Amino acid sequence: MLTLVHLRKNETFSQLGSGFGISQATAWRYVDETLDVLAGWAPGLQEALTGLGEGDHVIVDGTLIPIDRIGADEPYYSMKHRRHGMNVQVIARPDGTPLWFSRATPGRTHDLTAARAHGIVQACLTRQILVLADRAYQGAGATFRTPYYHHREQPAHYQQFNRDHARLRAPGERAFAQLKSWRILRRARCSTRRISTIAQAVHTLLTCSYSGRKRLSTSIRWLVSALMMIVA
């Protein structure tokens, strides 16, 4: 419950402790331990792509998790969004269901740079998975497909390609909508090193099925089941 309130409402540990009748330090420890457990069950990149191959396609995009930082923290400042934050890459199914969230990198990181650093480009090339992405990924090559620049000056079939591309890529925004429905990721006040863990924990709560995970202990299974029922 502590973890759910923290993720959903973005309350401070002082507020959590006061609300649940425990100390601030205890609230931090309970939430920290639970986040680590949940994040540990988030799928890795190769696991997320299991079952996909030639003939399948996914949507890749990046989002900025806003953070509290001063102007001097230049690496975290995104010129695109005009604010400080952390860059998180997502791979989503054609219907917008998130398959994988990357670790968070400083907001100044370009989406294409992040995709290469996380191994997304190579992993999709190896499996011959078609990737639909926006113009930020132009130059990725491999199996990435991005819109044409200056399509209005191009032949009609280029314009049609861009329209079809945008239509197929649009559901990918649902993955970000699900991620940002947890208020802690609308404006994170924690250490930047914890944002990756939080994103992975949220991914576990959103998408992972635990019925086939025999290694999951009874207590953890009960916790996750309870959280999922409340979230629903």
3-state secondary structure (DSSP) of residue 64: strand
Q: What's 188's DSSP letter?
A: B
Q: What is the pLDDT of residues 127-169, one digit of tens each?
A: 999 999 999 999 898 899 998 876 566 677 788 888 888 888 9
9-35 pLDDT, tens digit per residue, is 888 888 888 888 889 899 889 999 999
- What pLDDT sits at residue 12? 84
The full DSSP string for 104-157 is: PEETTS-HHHHHHHTTHHHHHHHHT-EEE--GGGTT--TTEE-PPTTGGGS-HH
The amino acid at residue 187 is: R
pLDDT at 4: 86
Contact 45, 203 (CB under 8 A): no
